[in-house]
Structure 1
Amino acid sequence: MTHTIVVDLGYGDAGKGRVVDLLCAESDVEAVVRFNGGAQAAHNVVLPDGRHHTFAQFGSGTFRGVPTHLSRFVVVDPLALAAEAAHLASVGVRDPFRLLTIDADALLATPWHRAANRARERCRGAGRHGSCGLGVGETVAYGLAHPAEAPRVGDVLDPPRLRSRLAAVRDRLTASNGPLDAPPLDDVVAVFAAFRDAVTIVDSGHLGGLLASGRCVFEGAQGVLLDEWFGWHPHTTWSTTTFANAETLLAGARAERLGVVRTYTTRHGAGPHVTEDRALDLPERHNGTGAWQGEFRRGHFDAVAHRYAVDVCGGVDALAVTHLDAADPALGICPEYANGWTRIPVGTRGDLAAQERLTNTLTGTTARGVYRPADRVTEIEAVLGVPVVLGTDSPSGPAVLRRALVP
């Protein structure tokens, strides 16, 4: 049995949800496993009948009836999860929570994490790092600072311990940030109790059972170019966005590595985007300027940056290419930067100072040699050295290109 790991080889928004939905529609899938990120994910799936949902914590196979497992690497936000479940129910998914299991060891995001995240980002003014404003990074940072006391999903099964840990989050984050825009402790405890009663909380052995029972699709969040260690610091996510977490969870089980790219490179918010071209006419149905993320930016296919993503991942077995119907005749592929780079050097994990120097270099360079190939799929295969096995165009249409996944 071979499982599949789906990872975005850009800055996010490449179409992972669309790809996961297609994989779940085309074959039997035991579960979609989320292995990083949290409520800040926004994976849009539009069915042929027009139903649309932006998947955040639920897996993008939910419309197909495929269960979701939130692994220990996911930051779980009960308030956002309830809102997402309500929307899924409104578009025809019966009792979404019956399709969900959650690892007891996953971190819990709270309203105080969210409020502290927004307070810190506001204080940065024009130097914002870029954030979805949902407190995922704040939750991870708190977990690293207070590993023995950080609220986890399993704590909802022990109400006194949960209350104590939530109170500690409130007090610590208020002490460091000032008054926070968050509800009273009792209200949060009540919501988390409702979460406890709605979901199925499991131990670490549950995933092993899923892997043994059938094929699983591991759905990543954000993109490799936003990785906490290898992205352009500080414009990154507090999450490992490569295949690494999924492969840890697989514990040696066989899996194919599927990388997702658009036919053009996008970035939502602050940070380097070397091939950005504001003259490109590329309409976007599901992404726009957000209060926290900022502007949705479009550019030519950045072969240099996507090669870097492949290198950071240690290789990719196959590619899925989305937005094949992008129609601007000026849209092209960038093979090289003005500083002469055709490949971005891969640094050492944990060396954030080096990544920040890289950010400064990329901020000061531009694209060079942009060209328009006759066949974008073939050219993307060539410039990244990876076969394309899946291609899509419209958000709700069928796959327009499908080949066997690489063993």
Structure 2
Amino acid sequence: MIADIVIGLSYGDEGKGKVTHHLLKSGEYSHCLRFNGGCNAGHTIYHNGKKFVTHHIPAGVFFGVKSIIGSGCVVNLEQFYSEIRELNDNGVETDGLIYIARNAHIITDEHLEEDNKDTAIGTTKRGNGPAYRDKYARLGQRAEACSRLVEDGFVIDLYEELYVRAIDPPTILCEGAQGFGLDIDWGDYPYVTSSHCTTAGALLNGIPPQAVRKVYGITKAYDTYVGSKEFHGKGRVFDLIQQIGNEFGATTGRSRQCNWLDIKMLDKAIKTNGVTDLIINKVDILREVGSWNLRSGTGKGIFVQLGNEAAWAQYITRYLKDVKVTFSGNPERI
């Protein structure tokens, strides 16, 4: 078995969908596995000239790759079936490609109703938190107990799929949701999501550590955050970044607070996740804004002012000297 893992190193919205789509073009993957989260996260993908935003469905479907919603995910049935219809309506074939791990959990109407009452930390109101809570309280409903999913042939056993039925050892692309800063254990608690957004979260889907070949860590040239905590910097430059970068959530449409890239947090995320390849997206936005700054540490932090793009890029590559860095300024490709 070989596994490559794509994770976010910030607070989500880093462009993981674009990178996953790019990697799938190689044609070497037998499976694409979405390993955490639910419909609270949206991945934006440009495929054959069309823009797609998926919340549940892994990106493998765009390339005829078997796509699995993993055991660390929670599933909203209405959203799941709606996404399949939308993909089919736009010419994407999904028959025989989409599966849900039998031990993934279901988001119920009760979870949605409860989540809509909670305003404390600015969640997406998609029922994820209550669904994960019931999972760990051993009160939840697994996919294998959902007759509709079973009858429609979507439920799969990960061990059987990856170890028993496979004729050849699988090559898996693990597609993460959200980011390190939102991880239930490593994020800025309590302003976090309810799942494991790290490399370790992918391994919880039956992937042994020795199978990991590459860990692709994704961030942007600046940081963004959606939620209720104070995050953004003050001033016109951050308003410009938000407007030019179209920083509005793919799931909720809410505006994303903006700040300079936190190089210290990025270094921490890289080291604790074993990142081998770092992709920094949206460099083109800073080009248009004309400011090249970084920060180091949470809160007010220490600001590093760089005069131009070359100095900014050089500072980053020297600071993060143990990882391969790619700077990207195109929404459709690396």
The separation in 1 between residues aligned to 2:245 and 2:293, in whole angstroms, is 23
Does the CA-based 8 Å contact 1:274-1:367 persist in structure 2? no
SS at the partner of 1:333?
strand
Alignment of 1:111-150 (within 5 A): 111-121=109-119, 128-145=120-137, 147=138, 149-150=139-140
Residues 1:388 and 2:330 aligned together: no
Deviation at 1:65, TM superposition (A): 1.9
- The equivalent of 1:309 in structure 2 is 269
Larger strand proportion, structure 1 or 2? 2
SS at the partner of 1:62?
helix
Equivalenced residue count is 326
- The equivalent of 1:184 in structure 2 is none
Give the percent of matched residue pairs that are identical in Structure 1 and Structure 2: 22
The separation in 2 between residues aligned to 1:254 and 1:308, in whole angstroms, is 20
- RMSD (CA atoms): 2.6
Considering only CA atoms, is the larger Rg found in Structure 1 or Structure 2? 1
- The equivalent of 1:299 in structure 2 is 259
Deviation at 1:88, TM superposition (A): 0.9
Between stretches 72-81 and 318-327, larger displacement belongs to 318-327
What are the ranges of 5 or more consecutive residues in structure 1 without an aligned counterpart?
Answer: 122-127, 158-192, 338-361, 400-407
Deviation at 1:272, TM superposition (A): 4.6
Deviation at 1:308, TM superposition (A): 2.6
Letter in 1 for 2:173: V
The separation in 2 between residues aligned to 1:293 and 1:238, in whole angstroms, is 20
Between stretches 199-208 and 233-242, larger displacement belongs to 199-208
Deviation at 1:286, TM superposition (A): 6.2
The separation in 1 between residues aligned to 2:288 and 2:244, in whole angstroms, is 13
Tell me the TM-score normalized by structure 1. 0.73
Deviation at 1:366, TM superposition (A): 4.4
SS at the partner of 1:37?
coil
Residues 1:258 and 2:216 aligned together: yes
- The equivalent of 2:174 in structure 1 is 218
Does the CA-based 8 Å contact 1:35-1:245 persist in structure 2? yes
Alignment of 1:4-403 (within 5 A): 4-47=4-47, 49-94=48-93, 96-121=94-119, 128-145=120-137, 147=138, 149-157=139-147, 193=148, 195-205=149-159, 206-208=161-163, 212-248=168-204, 249-251=206-208, 252-273=210-231, 278-280=236-238, 281-282=240-241, 283=243, 287-288=247-248, 294-313=254-273, 315-326=274-285, 327-337=287-297, 362-363=298-299, 365-375=300-310, 376-388=312-324, 390-396=326-332, 398-399=333-334
What are the ranges of 5 or more consecutive residues in structure 2 without an aligned counterpart?
Answer: none
Does the CA-based 8 Å contact 1:264-1:331 persist in structure 2? no
Q: 1:220 to 1:80 in 2, by over 3 A?
A: same
Deviation at 1:328, TM superposition (A): 3.3
Q: Deviations over 1:311-348 (max 9, x none)?
A: 443x32111221132223443232435xxxxxxxxxxx
Deviation at 1:79, TM superposition (A): 1.1
Letter in 1 for 2:319: V
Deviation at 1:276, TM superposition (A): 6.5
SS at the partner of 1:85?
helix
